[in-house]
Amino acid sequence: MLLRLGGSRGKMGILLIRRVGLFCRSAHLSSQNLEYRPIKKVMVANRGEIAIRVFRACTELGIRTVAVYSEQDTGQMHRQKADEAYLIGRGLSPVAAYLHIPDIIKVAKENNVDAIHPGYGFLSERADFAQACADARVRFIGPSPEVVRKMGDKVEARALAIKAGVPVVPGTDAPISSLKEAEEFAKTYSFPIIFKAAYGGGGRGMRVVRDYEELEENYQRAYSEALAAFGNGSLFVEKFIEKPRHIEVQILGDKYGNVIHLYERDCSIQRRHQKVVEIAPAAQLDPHLRDRLTSDSVNLAKQVGYENAGTVEFLVDKHGKHYFIEVNSRLQVEHTVTEEITDVDLVHAQLRVCEGRSLPELGLEQDKIQINGCAIQCRVTTEDPSRGFQPDTGRIEIKVFSFPIILLVL
């Protein structure tokens, strides 16, 4: 659900969605644009909403589209929306099919795909997938494999943030390997503390600990969750910030070292560490704090040579101090709210940057990026109250009961 709000003669109203696409001026190439290679065909190594979103952008830019689908997804809409569609992961489960790198690369090579967009989830933050694309001479629409690797390693990302002068939450400099190390950290920094998966995100492998009695159980649970979700149970420990705001900054970089931000989103409303409501820009955010958040994000991106779209995430405590959490080296679900307030089509930008266009050539310079109104995105969460409100999937059925109504007319 996406709601766009804007001002009109002093009144607040709902406006029609509008977005400026980045249709490049082919007759006006900058002298630095030596790496420009047009993209004629794009594969999306994903399914569902994000695949359709990327296909739409490609169609608007005159780029041919390729879908991949599992055996169970033969009737899914993303297959119908693409110009071409190919089966992957024969005999595998749906998730395993979309994680099967050899099949995806094979389809791309056999069908003359110029570039692969990973979408979000699945392979979107896998450095080995980005490298497989490079090895196959198929462009990966995202950062370089090395940057994806660095940003996916929370410990290394934290070290890079410190090097760039970005404040971080007090925590271990490397993954811990024993419960004893967690106990020592708690003695030094006091409770509450939080365990986090060193090689993953999305709320999995995260456990808050408030006293020594909870320490061992939560350590074991966090380790097991991280191992099951990411294939690696490594954890690191941080001081837990009570009731913070969760603010993330949208960044965009090109191949020439240019990086801009497209302001921030507030994703503080969460359920089990999963974002539920996204607001852009963040309401009642101090302008000086906004400047610090955005400048730190750009500085970190430049420090690592970031290319394409990404998000830098922060916690902000009750005193207005901000702390770096992580970088998501991909397009996010909530990118649309940023598009609505800046009138920049981020997927268009991703495609053009991947072709070798510079941000200035695309008209994307920092002083030209302005906030226009506000936008809110809400996600529907499904839980089963009979199982302690555990997450659930399936068909939603609504039963409507009719009762006799007596109208009394006075």
Catalytic site positions = 330
Cα(340)–Cα(16) distance, rounded to whole angstroms? Answer: 10
Picking from 62, 102, 98, the residue whose alpha carbon sits closest to that of residue 78 is 98
Residues 6 or more apart whose Cβ sits within 8 Å of residue 284: none
316: buried, middle or exposed (CB in 10 Å: 19+, 13-18, 0-12)? buried
Cα(275)–Cα(53) distance, rounded to whole angstroms? Answer: 20
* 8 A C-beta contact, residue 175 and residue 234: yes
* 8 A C-beta contact, residue 409 and residue 379: no
Backbone angles phi, psi at 266, to 5 degrees: -100, 120
Other beta carbons within 10 angstroms of residue 198's beta carbon come to: 23
Other beta carbons within 10 angstroms of residue 216's beta carbon come to: 13
- The alpha-carbon radius of gyration of the chain (Å, integer) is 23
User: Angle, to 10 degrees, between the axis of helix 346-355 and the axis of helix 335-342?
Assistant: 90
DSSP for 155-215 reads HHHHHHHHHTT--B-SB-SS-B-SHHHHHHHHHHH-S-EEEEETT--TTTT-EEE-SHHHH
Region for residue 245 given its phi and psi (left: phi exceeds 0; alpha: psi -120 to 50; beta: otherwise): beta
Give the pairing of strands 193-197 and 207-209. Answer: antiparallel
